[in-house]
Amino acid sequence: MNREVVASTARLDLCAPVIGDVEPLVALWSDPETMKYIGGGEPWDDVKVRSRIERAIDTFADTGCAFYTIVERASRAVIGQGGLVPIEFNGKEIELGYRLGRAHWGKGYATEVARASAARGWGALGFGRLVAVTYPENVGSRRVLEKTGFVEVGETDVYYGVRCVLYELVKG
Ligand SMILES: CC(C)(COP(=O)(O)OP(=O)(O)OC[C@H]1O[C@@H](n2cnc3c(N)ncnc32)[C@H](O)[C@@H]1OP(=O)(O)O)[C@@H](O)C(=O)NCCC(=O)NCCS
């Protein structure tokens, strides 16, 4: 598949989402352990993944933002999603997010995605501030944010209707 690469890291390509991503992503997001700290904590089926990809394709076309499809360059495999999306829970904000298939945890990949996404946010997209939210107990995700330079703001239930920790990163 010919992909539009939006940003690259040492080992990964962040690609514009396409409908062909549904099948490999259903394989990743149907795993309950992976989805434990996403939304309501339920695994996603084909219908849900397809609707999210369709939305991501539209958001990317309109804004250049999206949860990009993450491709591991060495294997050419789709291993997850990550990037920047516009949200409006507390005024207009840009949220950094990432999720990887379980086989790809613990390799530093999410930190590469977060850093590349922030660089795109400051550069091509011209943002000055990013936010991120995690479940308080999602220690791995919190560590990724800290390694990327995000600062903890505090706990809130304004985002997504669940109690979570809000982080922010302001352009240096
Ligand atoms: C959270 C997630 C993105 C982390 O991805 P990753 O590629 O493994 O992250 P990295 O390797 O870049 O960094 C993870 C860091 O957290 C640490 N960590 C991970 N799990 C941990 C745990 N249970 N306790 C303490 N530290 C932990 C790692 O040691 C690493 O820190 P280090 O580099 O200082 O050693 C991945 O596990 C994932 O996709 N989980 C499911 C989806 C999800 O929860 N997404 C985030 C929603 S907010």
Could you tell me the CATH number of the domain that includes residue 114?
Answer: 3.40.630.30
Confidence (pLDDT) at 2 = 87
Residue 76 CA to residue 2 CA, distance in Å, equals 11
> pTM above 0.85?
yes
Cα separation, 32 vs 94, in Å, equals 27
Which helix or strand (DSSP H or E) is residue 97 part of? Answer: strand 93-100
Q: Considering the chain, what percentage of its residues have pLDDT values greater than 70?
A: 100
Q: Give the burial class of 110: count Cβ atoms within 10 A of its Cβ; 0-12 exposed, 13-18 middle, 19 or more buried.
A: buried
pLDDT mean over 86-113: 98
Residue 141 CA: nearest ligand 1 atom is 1
3-class state of residue 34 by DSSP: helix
Confidence band (pLDDT; 50, 70, 90) for 1? confident
Question: Cα–chain-centroid distance for residue 66?
Answer: 8
For 172, residues 6+ apart whose C-beta sits below 8 A from its C-beta are: 149
Task: Tell me how many domains the chain contains.
Answer: 1
CA of 60 to the centre of ligand 1 (A): 26
- Residue 124 lies in domain: 5-170
* Residue with CA nearest ligand 1 atom 20: 140
Q: How far is the CA of 151 from the centre of ligand 1 (A)?
A: 17
**How many whole angstroms separate alpha carbon 165 and alpha carbon 152?**
7
